[in-house]
Structure 1
């Protein structure tokens, strides 16, 4: 069965066009990936793109750490579009190629510091167990602070929505870096 396709960007409703223009005016500069699918429901698209802008560009986590969390999420969900889009961003942000490759192959990453380990453990446990242990939570708070753990949880939730959207609608796996 053919999956829902993104709407034609040259033939949007006024509501869809408003969301598309908000995305284009923001740091992403283009309407691609899950945002194209979300245009079918402009209210969802508007709220999701605002949340995504916060999670990717404005959270308290530096890009190296948020990209680490995004890659863990992409791999857990086997979201190839998301993986392709964020691998380069993660490299540019300073995540080591060895860590990225280990996440890709489901191997134990060679972490460079306790903060990376805390983010990885938190993300993996939350995605696989649907909760985090007291020890993993405490390590994350120690490394990120309570507000950082709130942002980390938001990033993981948002990129789960992204990955689910990409997987449900079978968006092909070669996403550009500016995707989300």
Structure 2
């Protein structure tokens, strides 16, 4: 019998914005739409959802359309983090889900749960992560990733011990990438909690 998560972060409340079809966008927002939906993320859209069946951008991508000039810069940072190779795919997805669990961000968790499972992580491990524990059977580097992300999320920094552990296990470049990743996904969690775009299955969208 396959493992299943027994709980996930729930919605913060009813949607505050609607999702827009591509034909409803003005020229500036249409350009941003193409940057997101037609850019490098397109190849991973089956793992991390970008659009619904009507082509409407989902989650934080829908929020980026609200202020398209800033949204363009934000999505570029996200694309750089998504395809950077300083962290392994498993480490990156663990880090994202650790932020999502800390922030109780429903969309971030749902969007990246499948991507994490695709790296070989098990549903039971993700449940432990969601519950605030350390997932069993992680390698030493991934345990450091989870601890580091939690320290950054709670304290906004690393003490000398945490910094030394992270540099020793991951290297300075990977730690720098991890710090930017925590900031980026924390920012997305704030945007999602503020604007509450509907999930793809939500009839309000």
Shared fold per TM-score greater than 0.5 = yes
For structure 1, the 5+ residue unaligned runs are 176-180
Distance 1:75 1:156 in 2: 12
**Greater helix content:** 1
Distance 1:174 1:133 in 2: 40
Return the match for 1:23 from 23, 36, 49.
Answer: 36
Return the match for 2:187 from 136, 161, 171.
Answer: 161
Q: Does 1:32 align with 2:55?
A: no
* Corresponding position of 1:11: 24
Instruction: Tell me the alpha carbon deviations over residues 55-101 of structure 1, each in whole angstroms, 9 at most, x when there is no partner.
Output: 11224111100000000000111001110111110010123333211
Matched positions, count: 175
Distance 2:132 2:81 in 1: 24
Report the alpha carbon displacement of residue 6 of structure 1 after superposing the two structures with TM: 3.9
Distance 1:65 1:76 in 2: 16
* Corresponding position of 2:3: none
Report the alpha carbon displacement of residue 4 of structure 1 after superposing the two structures with TM: 3.3
**SS at structure 2 position matched to 1:10:** helix
- Bigger shift: 120-129 or 23-32? 23-32
Q: Could you say what the CA RMSD is over the residues aligned between the two structures, in angstroms?
A: 1.9
When the two structures are superposed, what TM-score results if normalisation uses the length of structure 2?
0.78
